[in-house]
Chain A
Amino acid sequence: MSIYTLVHIIENAAKQKPNKVAFKYLSQVITFLELHKKSSQLASYLINEGIKKGDRVGIYMNRSLETSIAVYGILKAGGVYVPLDPFSPISRTEFVIKDCGIKHVISIPQQHRKLKKLTELLNFISVVGLTNPLTNCKTISWESIFNIDVANYTTINILGDDLAYILYTSGSTGTPKGIMHTHASGLAFTTLVADLYKMENAIYGMHAPLHFDPSVQGYFAAPYALATTIIVSDSHTKMPASLADLIVKEKITIWFSVPLALIQMLTSGVLENRNMSSLQWVLFSGEVFPTKHLKALMELWSFAKFSNIYGPTETNQCTYYHLKTPPVTNTTIPIGYVWGNTDFKIIDTEDKEVSKGAIGELVIRTATMMKGYWNDPLRTQESFYKDENIIGAPHIYYRTGDQVKEDEKGRLLFLGRKDHQIKIRGYRVELGEIENILTSYPNIEEAVTIVANLEETEQKILVSVIMPSQKTAIDIDDLKSFCKKKMPIYAIPDKIEILKDFPRTASGKINRKEIEKLIIE
């Protein structure tokens, strides 16, 4: 059958491979046919509750099998799914729920305690998935959902242009912003990655939680390719040896995670005596993979191809860089090339295209781009760059806020955030470049560079914070002379501090703001 919306993915899979396992979580499995039926039962419930096209429905779950039923059930009802991270503070969840007007939440019994708190703060109409009822709103168990008769169930007419999901990410202003994707943008991304990594028959290891954009691959691209998705449990993400065992046990063929998960397995030494040769592709995104670790991992897993994926949540993802053999030097690997249905420009601060090879901001035009920010047309407009060459049909690009340059081979190199490009004593400095040089020094795991203001003289200075490998000492004087050899004099950090651990955000990225606070204190 033809696939025009995300809902068609499960309808098609249930026809093509009804008895194949669609999702697996620990020892629980659900086949494509079961998922099709159960998600229709949930949709039927939501429609009866009055859910109309475009209504937002929350998914308040940690990693679990039920996430798959919730995603497809909400979409089938014409709704928009909004993942709510149960591990984030209640106040943030409260903000998101209010911001996009969520009235129904799908959950699992483990979240009963927190939902009780939330329902005391907010007016929900119903909560699905709890076994014990809540006192102040309608509660319905999964068991009751699965008893709903769907013999007379009729599908909703969904268009590619209809909203499908809203992912909230932390905004620079401090309040989370809701990134709206449609069935069309989600599906464009789905087909691109399913083709690029040849996902048919894959056993796909999904490390990302639902609220983190790489999960779109696991929930949609894998079922689109009729592949099985292994939902990695929250417990597995925390224990490197168990995580490695899971890859072996499930014979995972495509793995996708943030670099940190791979680095933790590598550096804790749990990979040595395990046969992980089922892996054909190792995909990573979200942060720069320190090249020395990438090299070590690629030498260990020489049977697998590696791919660096880049892209802000606003574009789903948009570039890739494949590696078949380990990098030769310690320089940071490129973010590579834009994939199909996608184009880019590199622009300066005046919105003019830079000359070839020069540094500028990356803007992306793609079929996988968001519709805009929820309830924030101004911010949406500001985030777009318009090329008005064709009157009446402008090309709309998303401003990534990332500094890049194109090398002589046409590959894009990531140089840090636009707001990490600073001017110090009149010189333009890319903080990302300083960080890359610092991490190429032996035994430095990660580095962050910030600009601090000296109070007395109001002079700006560069402070680098480094995280040494476990149980190693860094000779700061030697590191400084290393910097002198590698970078221009004005870019050499005025101060280098050591931190044993870096504070991180919920998705595992380095929390620069927290580090700034620590340094200023």
Chain B
Amino acid sequence: MQEKIIKYIEELSSEEIDESIEATEDLLGSGILDSLGMMKLIAFLEEEFCCKVLPEEMVIENFMTVLHITDYLETKLVEKQ
């Protein structure tokens, strides 16, 4: 899951990235993703992991780093089962 997400973000990123993105890197504050990139990432996550990101869940706490995203998705997928 983590690898897939990192790969997608690297494709999306508007910035020149020298090193690969780390799971703990701040995606929002660092400029790796802009606000439209974020919207695209959310659409990707919904499709790839068959879940629905609710408007209320579009918060910094869920999307700050790849680690935050995977934690959040895992909780969602557990809830679904």
Contact = CB atoms under 8 A, between A and B. Distances in A.
Given A62-B29, A62-B31, A234-B31, A239 B56 contact: no
Interface stretch (B2-10, B59-67, B72-80): B59-67
Interface string A30-53: 000000000000000000000000
Interface residues of A, number: 26
Interface string B37-81: 011100000000000000111111001100000000000000000
Given A89-B16, A90-B16, A235-B60, A241 B31 contact: no
B28 A235 contact: yes
A234 B29 contact: yes
Given A87-B15, A501-B40, A504-B36, A242 B31 contact: no
A516 to B, nearest CB: 19
B58 A242 contact: yes
B35 A238 contact: yes
Interface string A255-276: 0000011001000111000000
Interface SS of B by simple majority: loop
Contacts of B57: 241
Contacts of B55: 240-241, 268-270
B56 A264 contact: no
A420 to B, nearest CB: 23
Interface in A196-239: 233-239
A268 B58 CA distance: 9
A414 B58 CA distance: 35
Nearest to A261: B35
A445 interface: no
B15 A239 contact: no
Contacts of B14: 87
A245 interface: yes
A270 B58 contact: yes
A472 B38 CA distance: 20
Given A89-B16, A90-B16, A234 B28 contact: yes
Contacts of B35: 237-238, 260-261, 264, 508
B31 A239 contact: no
Nearest to B30: A110
Interface string B1-27: 000000000000011100000000010
A90 B18 CA distance: 12
Given A87-B31, A268-B58, A239 B16 contact: no
Contact of A236 (B26, B30, B36, B60): B60
Interface string A58-94: 0000100000000000000000000000110110000
Nearest to A471: B43
A485 B30 CA distance: 48
A245 B58 contact: no
A261 B36 CA distance: 11
Contacts of B64: 235
Nearest to B58: A241
Nearest to B26: A235
B60 A239 contact: yes
A89 B56 CA distance: 33
B56 A241 contact: yes
A239 B40 contact: no
Given A87-B15, A90-B16, A268-B55, A239 B38 contact: yes
A241 B33 CA distance: 17
Contacts of A239: 28, 38, 58-60, 63
Interface string A501-518: 100100010000000000
Contacts of B58: 239-242, 268, 270
Contacts of B26: 235
Nearest to A246: B60
A504 B39 CA distance: 14
B35 to A, nearest CB: 5
Nearest to B35: A238
Interface string A475-505: 0000000000000000000000000010010
A268 B30 CA distance: 23
15 contacts: A62-B31, A86-B31, A89-B16, A234-B28, A235-B26, A235-B64, A238-B63, A239-B60, A241-B55, A241-B57, A245-B59, A260-B35, A268-B55, A268-B58, A501-B40
Interface of B: 14-16, 26, 28-31, 33-36, 38-40, 55-60, 63-64
Given A233-B29, A245-B59, 12 more contacts: A110-B29, A234-B29, A235-B29, A235-B64, A240-B55, A241-B56, A241-B59, A242-B59, A261-B35, A264-B39, A268-B58, A508-B35
Closest 6 CB pairs of A and B: A235-B28, A87-B31, A269-B55, A241-B58, A270-B55, A238-B35
